[in-house]
Structure 1
Amino acid sequence: MIALNADAPAAIACADCADQKARLILHRGTGERHRMPCACTATDLPVKFVYQPENSGCVVAAVAMIIGKTYFETKQYFVAHNDFTVEGAHRYQWQEVLDAHGFAWRLRFDYLSRLNGARRESWPCAPWADLHLVEVINTRGSGQHAVVLLRDGRVLDPWWGVLQGLHRYPRVVSMTAVYRVDPPGGAGA
């Protein structure tokens, strides 16, 4: 069993599953402990799950899941001066990485127009693509966090594992549907 403090990243008990047992996780928001099976053993995921080994590496891990690479392979595509132990990636950075790997995206916010500020009737939107990169407010409500949302509503959270739905987060900031536009191994790979 692994006990975590509130500020430490989820320990990676498996390097492609040396540990097939459930991990004991401390929920940062409520302080309660619960068991979570290792996500890398899930066989029904459309992408390979990637944990974030650095405090601010959620965007790198989410993009790694989408493009099909490891965390450290994907980290090389981000700006060299980023220190993912203390600072996350900016939206333009992950958009460029997705673009370089043959993906297009459609970004939605909780408002319809930046000009008049009209809010959407229903937010967050129902998933409209197979994969979404979603920016949420983390469970402590203290900052943004990136997760991958699947069409069936499951959330691949690089810190917590596979969760059932966006309702676990205080707020959804943006939702980005991600589509492959180049075939694997094509010009964008």
Structure 2
Amino acid sequence: MLLNSFVLGSSTGFNGGDMIYQLIAFIILLLLLKKFAWGPLMGVMKQREDHIAGEIEAAEQSREEAKKLLEEQRSLLKEARTEAQGLIEGAKKQGDVQREEIIVAARAESERLKESAKLEIEQQKEKAVAAIREQVASLSVLIASKVIEKELSTEDQEKLINEYIQEAGEGR
């Protein structure tokens, strides 16, 4: 019975024309949705997808660039440390060289002053010895003349003085 009412189009409501009409309206609705709603919606989604992909790519590029800059900074820092270490070593070596130069110059100056002092002492010693010789000679002549005056004549005394002066001159 149920089958009969479906096939016969009884009043239960199955109408083939309505169904075709509704099917055609549904298809038209789908086409209109596809053209006016689904197409623009998909376009917006595609734009959104492209925008997100671009942002991800830009972020990846930024990350790579930051990584590259970080490596460059590390390299520059290492180079700066090496250069600073080299400068410190150079300064130490230069300080050692200057210290040695100062020591050598001080020793040379000390030796020069020492030699100068020795030379001056020797000169002063020679002057003192010469002065003492002169005084000794004068005193010797004076003593000798006093001793000889009593025992020698004037002529013998003069002869003796001349000999003594000649001997004193050769002794210098």
TMscore range, shorter length: under 0.3
Q: Of Structure 1 and Structure 2, which has the larger fraction of its residues in strand?
A: 1
The structure showing larger relative contact order (alpha-carbon pairs under 8 Å, at least 6 residues apart) is: 1
TM-score by length of 2: 0.13
